[in-house]
Chain A
Amino acid sequence: MLLIACPWCGERDELEFHYGGQAHVAHPADPEALSDGEWAEYLFVRDNPKGPFAERWSHAAGCRRWFSVVRHTVTHRILAVQSNHPTAADGTKPVTA
């Protein structure tokens, strides 16, 4: 079981969290302008690396806030917890663009 450090609540069991898949996937600024292929890419295709992966987690059974985690998909080691929210705990704010 993963031990995930929520930026607001601290370390909690994975059971309290909900997985949200790849992080930093922006909604297209102008969806109408996309081709079918580009829309399919946005809708269905996500990175699936063997190695470090930036992903979204929600503390569903706790504070219910979303944040990002960089986790190695082979070792399951959590390499970073990220939130750009101003109330996130110190040391968890290496915000990426």
Chain B
Amino acid sequence: MSHRLPEHPDWLWRTPDPRRSYDVVIVGAGGHGLATAYYLARNHGITNVAVLERGWLAGGNMARNTTIIRSNYLCEESAALYEHSLKLWEVLPQELEYDFLFSQRGVLNLAHTLQDVREGTRRVNANRLGGVDAEWLDTDQVREFCPIVNTSPEVRYPVLGATLQPRAGIAKHDHVAWALARKADEYGVDLIQGCEVTGFLRDGDRVVGVRTSRGPIGAGRVALAAAGHSSVLADLAGLRLPVQSHPLQALVSELLEPVHPTVVMSNHVHVYVSQAHKGELVMGAGVDSYNGYGQRGSFHQIEHQMAAALELFPIFGRAHVLRTWGGIVDVTPDASPIIGPTPVENLYLNCGWGTGGFKATPASGWVYAHTIATGEPHPLNAPFALERFTTGALIDEHGAAAVAH
């Protein structure tokens, strides 16, 4: 009997058929959708909830990101939101009873020019005033903290220093999704995969449900959490969003011995690199300039980010690329997310996280659940309303967010 496969382990969540209606229907079972369902149940006692997923659970950007978690944003509205998120990351493994390998190994944001140094020191000061841990390291301290970074003055863009957020780090993205899904399921939330939303049920100006590939489903409130496809869904409700969808690519090397003790990001030569627990080097960089939904981008982006990685880490010269992939990120004009009600009654919006949504997963769920449950934004997401594009109160993180978008 040695040829028999072992029994399949217990599933972490049920696979229910959709009921006729729910109090809340969340569209998108990625990290944000699952966190929203979890906090709707945990914080607000709302458990008559379905999370509808076109593909499979956490198969979109939740499976494609580079798992970096940090809160060292310049604008105070952003820092507050991402710091709330980081505090939740610190308690979630215990709360969800699932070790998703959250590792607070720190994040370095390298400075290669005088402008980078000024931006970095300014951000460190802003972070400290806002209660976010932040330090400025000079070149020698960078070498001490991460010995494999090339700190030679001979390179094209020498490392002049770096910001360090010690509490930042990485987590295992798939396990985060599974941990949230399991707990949401335990609360009674229906996670329904292979169920594409194709339209909205309306009663006058109000949304009262969704049309899906598995039939109509009534809903007291409908909450979008569809990342790169937010525009497509909003269009079905007659809404135009200030969002453009772009391909964002990442890659991994084969498995290597542990060599990289932290996370290194560089705006100027433009790459970010960490080493996953299993051993692969994980690298990402910028979006492709053009709009796209194809979950793949142009080769020169990969070439550019690998050139940047080799400039910073000569030790990676003989590593091989194992695989590259792309996801679709929804970018707003000010590079900040949109979380809140929409002009359509009972329809809520959570989108525009661009290149940095993974780190926000818990806080996004926390404030979105509050918004859906009460009909009013949480103080942390009030500044991130859709109206800011009309009032002009933008939260301009382009170039301020410690990453080039």
Contacts and interface: CB of A to CB of B under 8 A. Distances in A.
Contacts of B292: 73-74, 76
B298 A50 contact: no
B122 interface: no
Interface in A11-67: 14-15, 18-19, 21, 36-37, 40-41, 43-50, 53, 55
Interface stretch (B71-79, B91-99, B239-247): B239-247
A75 B247 CA distance: 12
A2 B333 contact: no
A74 B294 contact: yes
A74 B291 CA distance: 9
Interface in B278-303: 289-294, 298-300
B112 interface: no
A97 interface: no
A71 interface: yes
B343 to A, nearest CB: 10
Nearest to A69: B290
Given A1-B298, A44-B242, A45-B242, A55 B389 contact: no
Nearest to B244: A48
A18 B289 CA distance: 8
Contacts of B232: 48-50
A28 to B, nearest CB: 15
A18 B288 CA distance: 11
A75 B299 CA distance: 15
A30 B231 CA distance: 28
Interface residues of A, number: 26
A46 B240 CA distance: 8
Interface in A75-91: 75-76
Nearest to A38: B390
Q: Which secondary structure dominates chain B's binding surface?
A: loop
B229 interface: yes
Contact of B231 (A41, A48, A55, A75): A48
B396 to A, nearest CB: 12
B115 interface: no
Contacts, number: 61
Interface residues of B, number: 22
A81 B89 CA distance: 48
A47 B292 CA distance: 12
Nearest to B294: A74
Nearest to B289: A19
Interface string B120-147: 0000000000000000000000000000
Contacts of A2: 290, 298
A78 B138 CA distance: 48
A76 B300 CA distance: 15
Contacts of A48: 231-232, 241, 243-245, 291
Contacts of A14: 298, 300
Given A71-B290, A76-B292, A1 B242 contact: no
B298 A21 contact: no
B333 A44 contact: yes
B300 A15 contact: yes
B374 interface: no
Q: Quick one: which of A15, A36, A45 has the most chain B CB within 10 A?
A: A45
Interface string B255-299: 000000000000000000000000000000000011111100011
12 contacts: A14-B298, A21-B244, A37-B390, A43-B333, A44-B333, A45-B389, A46-B242, A48-B243, A48-B244, A48-B245, A49-B231, A50-B232
Given A46-B244, A49-B232, A55-B290, 14 more contacts: A2-B298, A15-B300, A18-B289, A21-B291, A37-B390, A44-B242, A48-B241, A48-B243, A48-B244, A50-B229, A50-B231, A73-B293, A74-B292, A74-B293
